[in-house]
Amino acid sequence: MSQPVERVYVARLAGTTVFDPIGDAVGRVRDVVILMRRGSAPVAVGLVVEVPGRRRVFLPLTRVTSIAPGQVICTGVLNLRRFKARASETLAIAELLERSVTIKAGRERAYIEDIAIEPMRGGTWAVSKLYVRKAERRKGVLGFSRRGEAVVVGLDDVTGLMKRDEVQGAQLVIQRFADHKPADLAAALMEMSPARSAEIAAALDDERLADVLEELPEEDQISLLGTLRSDRAADVLEAMEPDDAADLLGDLPADEAAALLELMEPEDAEQVRQLMSYEDDTAGGLMTTEPVIVSPEASVASCLALVRKQELPPALASMVFVVRPPLEAPTGRFIGLVHLQRLLREAPHESIGNFCDAAIEPLAPHDSLAEVSRRMAAYDILALPVTDDDHRLLGAISIDDVLDHLLPRDWRDHLDDDQPEVTR
């Protein structure tokens, strides 16, 4: 077994597996919870641990018996209530990295890139060192670059640690989530202070932020969208799935929604307006206008290439919808659909029109949520077409759209109702 270490850098601790006393893996470290106290050194009080199901929970450091390279060992059973930082708590990775401090010697500005904690008596850990990168003044212009020398300094060697920057960098946090799913970053944003989550959102590109917004509860979606400039908010809405953008705009005051629609590209805005014209609990209100749509002459190989697109939700990737031109909703006449499994069984050069399942009856845009659910269960299918009276394809409904509307709006908050309260 590895020997415990006396000093731990929290950014390097992220991703470390947490084991219980008998050696079973119970989760991975995602952050460190720190109490920032004026007049005394900050102390680390716990770890944010991601357990199966992508739930993040609090593990007190008093319950940690060993921290060694590649492993954290805890005692007892994890409390599975979802973690939410309190006002007195600060997340080391999410909220302190890239905060600016001033090195007393030379009055140099620097930016925090890592934080060291060391064990004390009683099972607590104190913040002891900062790994910072000095700022260098850019040549020829005012301001600073963050490409200077990296040094390790003590807390007494710097000032400004307790003070939030007016604008704090976010790239280190974003880099740590580069290979994670949008839902993981969404969960992390929900744990941060509103100001810090707004900084992270501002630094994300439009497509990544759109993906993250789609994973947030409605209240958090509205709050985060409200931190963006109107033109940036419109760009992010354009990058969202049309049905998700319609749901979000539908939760805004009518005048705000109208103003954002005016700033969107006309084609995107028209799709969203069409979706907003349907009641939320109807097929039209549930559908997306961007499923995989092809003509009957398309080859099996080309269809497989379309469903491989990373940005395509898995449920929609399970089905190809075959129509007469035009291929954008509302399309030409709907012919039928082909399941991904059927595509995998056929020769790549064959035309997709040879394999259409015309037995599945399309939904009408005003069909109720109950009818949508019944039909989806009856066909045992992950996505269903929605057509108009002229049998033109308007869009498709996926199983995740149905679940989002069947569950209570605040279903994320009820995941922990059967879990005991955390005492910390």
- The CATH 3.10.580.10 domain(s) of the chain lie at 293-406
Q: What is the pLDDT of the chain when averaged over all its residues?
A: 88
Helix-strand-coil split of the chain, %, nearest 5: 35, 25, 40
Q: Per-residue pLDDT for 175 more than 90? A: no
Q: How confident is the model at residue 86 (pLDDT cuts 50, 70, 90)?
A: confident
* β-bridge mates for residue 202, sequence order: none
Whole-number pLDDT of residue 423 = 42
Whole-number pLDDT of residue 419 = 45
User: Which CATH architecture fits 177-277?
Assistant: Alpha Horseshoe (1.25)
From the list 101, 137, 142, 97, the residue with the least C-alpha distance to 115 is 97
Model's pTM, two decimal places?
Answer: 0.73
Q: How confident is the model at residue 410 (pLDDT cuts 50, 70, 90)?
A: low
Q: How confident is the model at residue 3 (pLDDT cuts 50, 70, 90)?
A: low
Sign of CA dihedral 212, 214, 217, 222: positive
Q: How confident is the model at residue 78 (pLDDT cuts 50, 70, 90)?
A: confident
Residue with tokens 């908050």: 413
Q: What is the pLDDT of residues 230-277, one digit of tens each?
A: 999 999 999 999 989 999 999 999 999 999 999 999 999 999 999 999
Q: What is the pLDDT of residues 332-384, one digit of tens each?
A: 999 999 999 999 999 999 999 999 998 899 999 999 999 999 999 999 999 99
Whole-number pLDDT of residue 303 = 96
Q: How confident is the model at residue 2 (pLDDT cuts 50, 70, 90)?
A: low
Helix or strand or coil: residue 260? helix
Quote the CA–CA distance of 157 and 297 in Å, as a whole number.
70
Whole-number pLDDT of residue 203 = 92
Q: CA 398, 390, 287 angle in degrees (round to 5)?
A: 15
Topology annotation, domain 293-406: CBS-domain (3.10.580)
- The CATH 1.25.60.10 domain(s) of the chain lie at 177-277
Q: For 76-231, where are the E strands, in sequence order? A: 89-91, 100-103, 108-119, 125-134, 136-137, 144-145, 150-154, 158-159
Q: What is the pLDDT of residues 117-158, one digit of tens each?
A: 998 877 779 999 999 999 865 444 444 555 688 999 999 999
Q: What is the pLDDT of residues 384-400, one digit of tens each?
A: 999 999 999 999 999 98
Whole-number pLDDT of residue 163 = 82
DSSP-derived secondary structure letter, 21: T
Are 386 and 397 within 8 A, CB to CB? yes
Quote the CA–CA distance of 201 and 170 in Å, as a whole number.
9
Q: How far is C-alpha 311 from the geometric centre of its chain's CA atoms?
A: 13
Are 259 and 229 within 8 A, CB to CB? no
- Worst-scoring range by mean pLDDT, 59-63, 76-80, 411-415? 411-415
